[in-house]
Structure 1
Amino acid sequence: MTVGEASGVQGEDAPVRVFLVDDHGLFRAGVRAELDRVDRVEVVGEAGSVDEAVAAIRHLRPDVVLLDVHMPEGGGAEVLRQVRPDLPGVVFLALSVSDAAEDVIAVIRAGARGYVTKTISGRDLADAVHRVHGGDAVFSPRLAGFVLDVFSDRPGAAPPGDPELDMLTPRERDVLRLLARGYAYKEIAGELFISVKTVETHVSSVLRKTQLSNRYELSRWASDRRLV
């Protein structure tokens, strides 16, 4: 984890202080390199795990946190859960490879101000950072219509949630979605870049949380919640 100096009082022309949270070091390096080319954005630190992120964000108090959704130990939603109550001035922008509806809902309900996918260009990402820092909500074009639909029934309210689905971590939902589509454990492992043992652990956890007995019941459960 790389940390910078804690912030002082900022003027209007001061750069937006950004903190990166992602469990892939190469991806963090690429984002840092892209943002370093842009004026008025300063990357002040980075972390590759939930615990590192929580400690460093509390210390540095950045303006904007670029937050990966899928990480071990609860992912981006867990970082939000631990940090937001104590640091309401820190803005979180999800930056994820996933554009799945449940991932978007989960992280927005947890308090993120926006959600963009990792296909975004460096300059557009910098623009998104400035916009959320300025108070806007920012979403990738593919997600914007979906988010509007979710909020349309209850303007100003958080998106509706499924209490049973909310029990699952983003990674458990990824595994469940592929399992319900008929993927074997080895295929799921390859698709998500995790080990077969980790897949087995996630499946066991989902079975325990849902109180179901086998993959066929899980597939039906996932289909009922439109995960497939």
Structure 2
Amino acid sequence: MNDQDPVTVVVVDDHALFRRGVRAELETTARHTVSVVGEAGSVDEAVAVIAHRKPDVVLLDVHMPDGGGAAVLARTRPEHPEVVFLALSVSDAAEDVISVIRAGARGYVTKTISGRELADAIVRVRAGDAVFSPRLAGFVLDAFADRPGATGVVDPELDQLTRRERDVLRLLARGWSYKEIAAELVISVKTVETHVSSVLRKTQSSNRHELTRWASDRRLV
């Protein structure tokens, strides 16, 4: 996507009136920066529209009768890893926030958000930021923080990495060279290479770019 092009968006929500309202609001307040290219009212519709339109960002309702946002994420992210998901929900419950972020959404905002704020959130998640409504970020920090008392959420793929492998991956995903990582962690370049090879194997990644996306999806960066 060219920096001058509007961010393309698909709105997924089981309430047609709400979808129309979001579209109208974005067209009014952000027509030069955001373009709604599709809508869906169910999981099956969402999967089909995302595959057809290939939007930059999907605005995703958390609760829908046929599986909700988590089901959409599970069925679309493997095939379309380039699509970014931003949860847009009436719920501000910790378990809803944590589950949809764990499933792969890049942010979570509530439906009390204004049109301009929503447009800004869409642009920011497309650019790589993690965006949350006030106070919701605390839920995520608590759930993902590696500290005593945190609300742990199990991720088997992440848990298979050793602490040192996570350290190496985190720095690698930030763009550090092997030499810089070695100096920071006080290990040899050869040891860094060994850790990277292990991480590639465990995450089933084939290159640094895929590792960076993998780390970003799990908020290691």
Which of the five TM-score ranges fits, normalised by the shorter chain? 0.5 to 0.7
Q: Is the 8 A contact 1:109 1:159 kept in 2?
A: no
- Give the gaps of 5 or more residues in structure 1: 1-9, 163-228
How high is the sequence identity, in percent, across the aligned residues? Answer: 73
Which whole-Å CA distance do the structure 1 matches of 2:138 and 2:96 have between them?
Answer: 15
Write the distance in 1 (CA, Å) between the matches of 2:145 and 2:73: 24
Residues 122-171 of structure 1 show CA distances to partners (whole Å, capped at 9, x for unaligned) of: 000000000000000000012012211222127xxx96059xxxxxxxxx
The runs of 5 or more residues in structure 2 that have no matched partner are 156-221
Alpha-carbon separation, structure 2, partners of 1:87 and 1:146: 27
Letter in 2 for 1:40: T
Corresponding residue of 2:25: 34
Distance 1:131 1:40 in 2: 11
The offset of 1:12, in angstroms, is 1.5
Indicate whether 1:111 and 2:81 are aligned.
Answer: no
CA distance in 1, matches of 2:152, 2:11: 26
2: CA distance between counterparts of 1:122 and 1:61? 23
Q: Partners of 2:140 and 2:134 in 1: how far apart?
A: 10
User: 2:141 matched to 1:143?
Assistant: no
Would you say the 8 A contact 2:60–2:86 is kept in 1?
A: yes
Counterparts of residues 195-214 of structure 1 (less than 5 Å): none
Query: How far 1:40 sits from its partner (Å)?
Result: 1.1
CA shift, 1:67, in A, is 0.2
Contact 1:105 1:159 (8 Å CA) reproduced: no
Q: What is the number of residues matched between the two proteins?
A: 150
Give 4+ residue runs of structure 1 displaced > 2 Å after superposition. Answer: none
Counterpart CA distance in 2 for 1:56 and 1:99 is 27
Find the aligned partners of 1:11 and 1:148 in 2 and give their Cα distance: 32
**Root mean square deviation, CA, Å:** 1.6
Q: TM-score, normalised by structure 2?
A: 0.65
Could you say which residue in structure 1 is the equivalent of 2:11? Answer: 20
